[in-house]
Amino acid sequence: MTLTIAGLKAVEVLDSRGRPTVAVTLRLADGRTVRAGVPSGASTGSREAVELRDGDPHRYSGQGVLKAVANLNGEIQDLLTGRHFTDLAAVDRAMIEADGTNTKARLGANAVVGVSMAAARAFALLADLPLWRFLTPAGATPRLPVPHFNVVNGGMHAPNRLDFQEFMIAPLGAPSLAEAVRAGAEVYAALRRRLSDKGFATGLGDEGGFAPEIDTPEDVLSLLVDAVSDAGYRIGQDGIAIALDPAASEFYREGHYHVAAEKLTSDDMISRYEAMVDRYPVWSIEDGLAEGDWDGWIRLTERLGPRTQLVGDDLLVTNPGIVAEAIGRRAANAALIKVNQIGTVTETLEAMRLCREAGWAQMVSHRSGETEDTFIADLAVATGCGQLKTGAPARGERVAKYNRLIEIEAAGSRPYGLP
């Protein structure tokens, strides 16, 4: 199978936060087209692939992406148009070599990743396969993932006092994807009622979760336990468990973690997480410590790793080299996977392969600035990683991914749940 790219067209569009991002249309030689919408993060690791932003204060407060669009419509299109590619890796490799930087900073990761996603769709179209089937790597068994619904937002995702960024519910005990989505929606509705009854505002953060003025993470955990019960579900790993993304790099300053007016060391934070896991059904903690706190991550993994999933996001940035280092140092036991964080689909699949072979878990993830593109839903199914987070069961750009999973499940029997 050979892909011949007949043309590329990029435009500047808006993401779910009203900030500019890139949309890419790829035209095949037979005239058919495929499209990709590029997500964008707010809480970002320092070693992520670099989004190219214009810096013009007179347009979108400097956040415009016309430079990335121009690179795609110019240099990248000239590079790829008319060439014959036998696999996706060749497309990605051509752009990486042309860019010439370690972070895709010259052409812009937001330009490169859009083409990579569109090219994957083009190969799937040529093969007459659903995207998830085309993306399935050797050694992986496709599986419908457990959705992790972000139902309370804080940190960089909400204008409230809550330092932890995400509180998620995970229907680990659901018998199917459709029932997991139903559980998430029903708990979300129950949480809204409980927050309203307690006098909290029920406005939403960037990822569709509620953004109440609550100070401590423990108070949120208590609310979630009550909401799960209100909705009529079991709490815990045989029913609905809780996952956290504190995004600790965002509240780490001058060697300490600052949580609800407390100044904590790495060991203080680890002890606090241990107390949370002891008291509440917390099964997963993402970015519990800052990206540069490697010694803390190693101690965290030693103390909590045997009973808790510890997910590296800012720590790992979906970078195969950094993932390999963390595996060797036993820092974390799972990786968050974001395609735009590394910048190509090929490198994303390589990071996931390293995790799979090391026995690490993986959770495919959206970004705070999303589009209606459902690529990550297919990626999660294809790799069989068993976990996906893409926000609350609310807001169109989040729900689109969950609805895509429902469609995949309805089209044919696939296993559901953790591997």
Tell me the catalytic residues: 207, 338
Give every CB contact of residue 364 below 8 A, 6+ residues apart in sequence.
145, 337, 338, 376, 379, 380, 383, 385, 387, 388, 389
List Cβ neighbours of 21 (8 Å cut-off, separation of 6 or more): 12, 13, 14, 15, 37, 38, 39, 40, 65, 110, 369, 371
In this structure, the number of other CB atoms found within 10 A of the CB of residue 293 comes to 21
What does the DSSP 8-state code read for residue 139?
Answer: T
Element (H, E) at 221: helix 217-230
What is the distance between the alpha carbons of residues 296 and 310, in angstroms, rounded to a whole number?
A: 12
Length of the chain: 419
Question: Cα–Cα distances in Å, from 112 out to 86, 88, 96?
Answer: 18, 13, 8
> Can you tell me the distance from the alpha carbon of 199 to that of 212, in angstroms, rounded to the nearest whole number?
10
Tell me: is residue 313 an annotated ligand-binding position.
yes
Q: Is 198 annotated as a binding residue?
A: no
| Residue 77 labeled ligand binder | no
DSSP code at position 379: H
E-state strands within 260-408: 262-264, 282-286, 309-312, 334-337, 361-365, 387-389
286 annotated ligand-binding residue = yes
Going by the DSSP 8-state scheme, the letter that residue 204 receives in this structure is B
Quick one: residue 346, left, alpha or beta (phi over 0 = left, psi -120 to 50 = alpha)? alpha
Q: What is the DSSP string of 46-111?
A: TTSPPP-----TTSGGGT--HHHHHHIIIIIHHHHTT-EESSHHHHHHHHHHHH-SSS-TTT-HHH
Is 165 labelled as part of a ligand binding site?
yes
CA atoms within 13 A on the CB side of 233: 33
Report how far residue 305's alpha carbon sits from residue 295's, in angstroms, rounded to the nearest whole number. Answer: 14
Q: In degrees rounded to 5, what are phi and psi of residue 24?
A: -120, 135
Is 338 annotated as belonging to a binding site?
yes
Q: Could you give the CA distance from residue 110 to residue 182 in angstroms, rounded to a whole number?
A: 33
Token representation of residue 64: 């415009």
Annotated binding site for Mg(2+): 245, 286, 313
Annotated binding site: 165, 245, 286, 313, 338, 367-368, 389
Annotated binding site for (2R)-2-phosphoglycerate: 165, 338, 367-368, 389
